[in-house]
Amino acid sequence: MDSVDSDFNKRKDEVNEYFSFLEKLNNDNIKLNYTKENDTEEFVISTKLQRIFIANTFLLLYNLVESTIRNSIVTIYNKIKDDEVIYDNLSEKIKQIWLHKNGKRFSIYSSDNTIEVNLQNIINDIINNEIIMLTKEDIHISGNIDAQEIRNLADKIGFEVSSNGRYLVDIKEKRNRLAHGEHTFHDIGKDFTYNDLNTYKETTFIHLEDVISKIKNFIDDEKYKIQQNIGSQ
């Protein structure tokens, strides 16, 4: 998880850097002085521009959330590969993920021959104890990450569920409205203050740190493998 921690901290630093600038805008009549051709000129940051900066915060925070969750899950998948785990030794939840991935080879438009070949390939992978391969392409979360989706992923993969994360749904929705052009940056930004966004930021950091911790525990305890019931032996 070192790479996850490193990327998470790098993105946190970017967000904090942006907030240090945003805090300076949390006043009226903000002016910037700059030099142009040896003359000092002044630029007034309008209320409209301040609201655009505020709205941009949702893009930064969502980027942090989605990248952190994606990188964390990829780390689980990489550990399965590095440990050379075969199908029989996978946890039941990870087996279902792998089967679902391979089930996408089938289509109602597939010919009988194609279905037979794909089915035989899956059977051979299991019988021949091939190492299970899952990649970031098998994580379909783009534009859809909030606290509930993270809980769904936790249940699907098997790591412990994190509580709270109440603001993530707002971050997701505002980001998607901006990304899809449904609202202007000014329209989104006018409804939020610096203090509002600072609350969003701090609670997001706390929630993601908790998710990372739970995924670390999942990996350290090798919960991606089938768990042996020692007491029954």
Structure tokens at 29: 């009549």
Domain ranges in the chain? 2-85+131-226, 91-130
- Rounded Cα distance, 201 and 19, in Å: 9
45-74 pLDDT, tens digit each:
888 999 999 999 999 999 999 999 999 999
- The strand pairing partners of 30, in sequence order, are 45
Give residue 139's pLDDT: 86
Residue 232 has pLDDT above 50, yes or no: no
Give residue 177's pLDDT: 95
For 91, the enclosing helix (H) or strand (E) is none
Residue 31 has pLDDT above 70, yes or no: yes
pLDDT: which is higher, 6 or 107? 6
Tell me how crowded residue 146 is: count the other CB atoms within 10 A of its CB: 19
Beta-carbon contacts of residue 199 (< 8 Å; ≥ 6 apart): 167
Q: Tell me the CA distances in angstroms from 169 to 67, 73, 152, 193, one per residue in order.
A: 16, 20, 14, 18
Question: pTM for this one?
Answer: 0.87
- Single out the residue of 217, 165, 180 nearest to residue 61, CA to CA: 165
165-203 pLDDT, tens digit each:
889 999 999 999 999 999 999 999 999 999 999 999 999
- Rounded Cα distance, 152 and 168, in Å: 14
Q: Tell me the CA distances in angstroms from 226 to 79, 108, 138, 205, one per residue in order.
A: 14, 33, 21, 32
